[in-house]
Chain A
Amino acid sequence: MAMTDQQIERYSRHIILKEVGAKGQKKLLNASVLIIGAGGLGAPAAMYLAAAGVGKIGIVDADEVDLSNLQRQIIHSTADIGKPKVKSAKETMNAMNPDVEVKTYHKFVDSTNIRELIREYDFIIDGTDNFPAKFLINDACVMEKKPFSHAGIIRFKGQLMTYVPGEGPCYRCVFKNPPPKDAVPTCKQAGVIGAMGGVIGSLQAMEAIKYIVGVGDLLTGRLLTYDAVNQEFRKIKLPHDTSKCPVCGANPTITELIDYEQEVCEETAGRFEVKDENN
């Protein structure tokens, strides 16, 4: 499949890169990514992936655009208030790049629908704001052998890691179980700097693009944390023994998906032994 002159021009800054080229751009055009959550993280991720020409992008979100979203969810505009986020996101992405097929799912993911949803995509982006969804996405991706990017943001902090089947720990290897209900404040209660979604969501898009093109190293077995107050990034080596993990280990005890009941977004790192690569 040859690229059109318009595509060659649109993606020229990709094609010119030795690591991408026409070959890499075609991989992007033939790839599919599912973004779960069209919020602070999903907005920039969706926009960069659409701009990059990822051929098919799915977006899942049950919410409507709210005035309080607009401080960080840059895919939505003031005129979109009240619209389903997936619809507003699709309009922005279509306007940006007609090469991209955007599929929308105006619903929550749960144990009954997520496996089927992720099955038709090459890479999954977790842009959700609560632990039940994060564990659900992890377990479903492990079961369906799908790579995904986990991320979380709160206040002035953000973190992300990437799971690739067979190439390092999953989210549950590291974080075991959701924290007790109300132990951790939600973004709603705690607040978050809008640009944090831009930093971390863009890094998630970068992971997806690198996975698709096949360049460099991903954040597998590593947790990247960002502290905006001190402008500090840290790359933390995660425990590499996955054999005892209840979902991705040798003898998994979690073989069915779980719908946890709670709504919290997460605090950065700290619930496991960390080894800072800079030390």
Chain B
Amino acid sequence: MSEVLEFDEQVDITDKVCPLTFVTAKVAIEELDDGQVLAIRMNDGEPVQNVPRSFKEDGHKILKLNDNEDGTYTLFVRKVEE
């Protein structure tokens, strides 16, 4: 079993397609305070390729990517305020 980190808020983007995958997750992280953690459940493939990278480009900290072993992953991101 993969380790589940503590998080403050979660969002499921498995029903979204690019670019709404990242956009939805981005809207969610903007609601958090600096240092809080967002857990994002996403499908394998394109989201796993792009969403972590986009968060990194926005300056946030990627903590972990868990394989849920059901075709989805959960990404843990710590919010870094500019």
Contact = CB atoms under 8 A, between A and B. Distances in A.
Interface string B25-42: 011001100000000000
Interface in B35-64: 54, 57-58
B23 interface: yes
A254 interface: no
A12 B19 contact: yes
Nearest to B23: A12
B24 interface: yes
B27 A16 contact: no
Contacts of B57: 18
A12 B24 CA distance: 9
Nearest to A21: B30
B58 A18 contact: yes
Interface residues of B, number: 12
A21 B29 CA distance: 10
B4 interface: no
A21 B20 contact: no
For chain A, give the interface size range: 10 to 19
B64 to A, nearest CB: 23
Q: Counting chain A CB atoms within 10 Å of each CB, which of B19, B20, B23, B57 scores highest?
A: B23
Nearest to A23: B30
Contacts of B23: 8-9, 12, 15-16
A9 B24 CA distance: 8
Contact of A12 (B20, B30, B31, B58): B20
B20 A22 contact: no
A8 B2 CA distance: 32
B61 to A, nearest CB: 16
B73 interface: no
B76 interface: no
B19 A16 contact: yes
A3 B58 contact: no
Contacts of B26: 15-16, 21-22
19 contacts: A2-B31, A3-B27, A8-B20, A8-B23, A8-B24, A8-B27, A9-B20, A12-B20, A15-B26, A15-B27, A16-B23, A16-B26, A18-B57, A18-B58, A21-B30, A22-B26, A22-B30, A22-B31, A23-B30
Interface of B: 19-20, 22-24, 26-27, 30-31, 54, 57-58
What 8 A-B pairs are tightest by C-beta distance, nearest first?
A12-B23, A22-B30, A22-B27, A15-B23, A16-B23, A8-B27, A18-B58, A16-B19
